[in-house]
Amino acid sequence: MTDSMFYLFGALATGGALGVILNRNTVAAALCLLLSLLGIAGLFVLLDAYLLAVLLVLVYAGAVAALFVFVVMLLDMQGGTPRPSGKITLAASLCAFALLLAGLALTFAPGHLPEPPVAAVPAFGASLKLYAYRLFTAYLLPVQVAGFLLLTAMIGVIVISKKPKDDAASTEPSILPPST
């Protein structure tokens, strides 16, 4: 059962990531990003990392992806004609692909990832209480500052993307007859 869930969440994360890369519509790409993040959160649940799964869903899937969709819809961005790729882009892509293949070869080499002894694995949730205590005492101010900065950025995007009144008035139909 666990193996099938792993393959399901892995396919969800991979399919969503491919949808982000290959999709030309920015709103659909943002929704594919959301799908990919939910797949990764499912993988965290399978690893018994419930805190990371909840934080991923709340922060990234809930806030960042929703903010991205909001900004894209607010700015009404349309995909334009893509720029032609040059020789440097092709060379960088080939280097990245070669590094990806080398990483996969090293990861799946036999005997490369030994299992830790059972006694060395800490108990589940042993440091979670300490983590929560530090987050809500010593690091409360940085968390609040980060939230305030995100709020300020969102208000700034709304103000920047707001159309001026004379543009809005020119697009609305007038009830007065045109003057000649």
Q: Which residue has the tokens 């101010």?
A: 141
Domain holding 146, by residue range, is 128-165
Is 64 found in the same domain as 7? Answer: yes
Q: For the CA atoms of 69, 75, 76, 80, what is the dihedral angle to 10 degrees?
A: -100
134 domain-assigned:
yes
Number of domains in the chain: 2
92 domain-assigned:
no
Length of the chain (residues): 180
- The pLDDT assigned to 41 comes to 92
Does pTM surpass 0.75?
no
Residue 177's pLDDT band (cuts 50, 70, 90): low
Number of helical H runs and strand E runs in the chain: 8, 0
Query: Using one digit for the tens of pLDDT, what is the confidence trace for 129-168?
Result: 777 777 778 878 877 887 788 788 778 777 776 766 665 5
141 domain-assigned:
yes
DSSP string, 101-170: HHHHHHHTSTTSSPPPPGGGSPPTTTTHHHHHHHHHTTTHHHHHHHHHHHHHHHHHHHHHHSPPHHHHHH
Q: Which of 79, 107, 141 is the last residue of a domain?
A: 79
Contact 37, 60 (CB under 8 A): yes
Residue 71's pLDDT band (cuts 50, 70, 90): confident
Q: Which of 79, 98, 115 is the last residue of a domain?
A: 79
Q: Which of 61, 79, 97 is the last residue of a domain?
A: 79
CB atoms < 10 A from the CB of 180, how many? 3
Determine the average pLDDT of the residues in 116-123. Answer: 63
94 domain-assigned:
no
Contact 68, 48 (CB under 8 A): no
Buried b (16+ CB within 10 A) or exposed e, 146-164: eeeeeeeeeeeeeeeeeee
Write the CATH number for 47: 1.20.120.1200
CB atoms < 10 A from the CB of 6, how many? 14
Nearest to 44 by CA among 61, 31, 29: 61
Is 134 found in the same domain as 75? Answer: no
6 domain-assigned:
yes
174 domain-assigned:
no
Is 64 found in the same domain as 5? Answer: yes
147 domain-assigned:
yes
175 domain-assigned:
no
